[in-house]
Chains A and B, each alone.
Chain A
């Protein structure tokens, strides 16, 4: 029993890890293709059919580049930075329910790595930890521009975390649970949380953009002001880790948004189709991935549409708009909940 459990979880963890890496890998390709589409260009089309092998070529290039560690840099922390960025990016997917329970040979197999009863807070914690990779790397480079990037990342992260936490509180009042599995199960069919928390979702979405350092919130790596921001001094695969961590972050936050607000693995009329439970589960999992891919596309769409904020605009939006809105959302949710 115990061994079977461990093997089952091991397979699940490996699969989730592999899928996150695969999606992140092809997100880099999709990013360039979407950019090309929006700017009326062709995009990468040399490596393989439609340029599909481009991510592999990029990876190989990254590995073969010369690795430079600045002479005055703090060597250990210089390596710890990108490793930490990658680690925290991969940690978030542990509590996301990828589907309902599969039933194989009378045995229930959960499609969630672990269902801790503070799952929502766990994700919030991992997100708040993500900034350390950027900060440590930026400081260890011993470069003024890198330091500026690191400091910007920290202040941005702290500012938007507050609004994100407040929007999660409003969601919590509706769901009444912190467990990701229960939150997903509550949205069965078409009872998605987006209909009960539209404002909360909007705040969460904006904060997710800020926490993943995506445009319009990519001030830590703002090349017009800071050369390359926190990764100015990085080369070879260490730079690759930073860039790659951003895409994994994007994937995980898309999965979180899909689970929290867009029903997770649930889809409309799932209980009226008359299929067996396993088929419904598989369709649901596919549905979840379609939702995630839509969110990733949205991330890219915004990146190539909206210009970057100025720093004071960023702070004003965070502190003077999003936080009061989130508090108003909590009050509103409380009033509606006490009336109904």
Chain B
């Protein structure tokens, strides 16, 4: 009975994964292809939501909720705020020159190449990845790992964020002085 239930849960899990993965790809394509910038941002929000579902399926609750708060709740609100404030529309959008389009294609191609290369590198691992601790993503375990094994990179990245914040304030202040 329990073996049957386990198999059933596995099947449901896999089908949810495939459904959500499909939705992530569809919505990220819509981000690129929709003409209206506000629609783009809204599709991006849905894409981030599908990522949250992926994290939940991986039992990484903390990562899921942080992704939810930081990306969906904070960064995307700011994105939407800026785009609404500028009120970009299809008719006000400036025409892109051919040079910009070619540069865009080259940059995108480079990114795609890197991603494909990275994916190919993972293929060389013959042994499938086995998660030994399925509750690694819970708050307590994540905190222990972050503050023991990865303390230095963690603190360094926080200093990096702080310097970025100070830099942004400095830049904003300079501008207001120039106006005065």
Indicate if the CB atoms of B84 and A132 lie closer than 8 Å. Answer: no
In whole angstroms, how far apart are the Cα atoms of A319 and B45 in the complex?
Answer: 26
Indicate if the CB atoms of B73 and A118 lie closer than 8 Å. Answer: no
Q: Which of B59-101 contact A (CB under 8 A)?
A: 61-62, 65-66, 68-69, 72-74, 77-78, 80-81, 84-85, 87
In whole angstroms, how far apart are the Cα atoms of A155 and B81 in the complex?
Answer: 8
B-side interface residues, number (CB < 8 Å): 22
Question: Chain A 288-318 against B: per-residue CB contact (8 Å), 1 yes, 0 no?
Answer: 0000000000000000000000000000000
In this complex, which of B65, B66, B74, B80 has the most chain A Cβ atoms within 10 angstroms of its Cβ? B65
Write out the residue numbers on chain A whose beta carbons fall within 8 Å of the beta carbon of B69. Answer: 121, 124-125, 128
Indicate if the CB atoms of A139 and B139 lie closer than 8 Å. Answer: no
Q: Does B20 count as interface, using CB distance less than 8 angstroms?
A: no
Question: Chain B 18-54 against A: per-residue CB contact (8 Å), 1 yes, 0 no?
Answer: 0000000000000000000010001001000000000
Write out the residue numbers on chain B whose beta carbons fall within 8 Å of the beta carbon of A147. Answer: 84, 87
Indicate if the CB atoms of B84 and A161 lie closer than 8 Å. Answer: no
Indicate if the CB atoms of A118 and B84 lie closer than 8 Å. Answer: no
Indicate if the CB atoms of A117 and B81 lie closer than 8 Å. Answer: no
Write out the residue numbers on chain B whose beta carbons fall within 8 Å of the beta carbon of A117. Answer: 61, 138-139
Given A128-B73, A151-B84, the answer on whether A158 and B78 have CB atoms closer than 8 Å is: yes
The residue that B73 contacts in the complex, of A2, A116, A125, with Cβ under 8 A, is A125
Q: Which of A127-146 contact B (CB under 8 A)?
A: 127-129, 131-132, 135-136, 139
Write out the residue numbers on chain B whose beta carbons fall within 8 Å of the beta carbon of A158. Answer: 74, 77-78, 81
Interface class of chain B by DSSP: helix
Given A151-B84, A151-B85, A178-B139, the answer on whether A118 and B62 have CB atoms closer than 8 Å is: yes
In whole angstroms, how far apart are the Cα atoms of A186 and B169 in the complex?
Answer: 41
Q: Select from chain A the residue with minimum beta-carbon distance to B87.
A: A147
In whole angstroms, how far apart are the Cα atoms of A161 and B81 in the complex?
Answer: 15
Interface class of chain A by DSSP: helix
Shortest beta-carbon distance from B7 to chain A in Å: 15
Write out the residue numbers on chain A whose beta carbons fall within 8 Å of the beta carbon of B68. Answer: 125, 129
Given A121-B69, A125-B65, the answer on whether A131 and B84 have CB atoms closer than 8 Å is: no
Listed in ascending order, the chain B residues whose CB lies under 8 Å from chain A are 5, 38, 42, 45, 61-62, 65-66, 68-69, 72-74, 77-78, 80-81, 84-85, 87, 138-139
Q: List 29 A-B contacts (CB under 8 A).
A: A2-B5, A117-B139, A118-B61, A118-B62, A121-B65, A121-B69, A122-B65, A125-B69, A127-B73, A128-B69, A128-B72, A129-B72, A132-B45, A132-B77, A135-B77, A135-B81, A135-B84, A139-B38, A139-B84, A147-B87, A150-B84, A151-B84, A151-B85, A154-B81, A154-B84, A155-B81, A158-B77, A158-B78, A158-B81
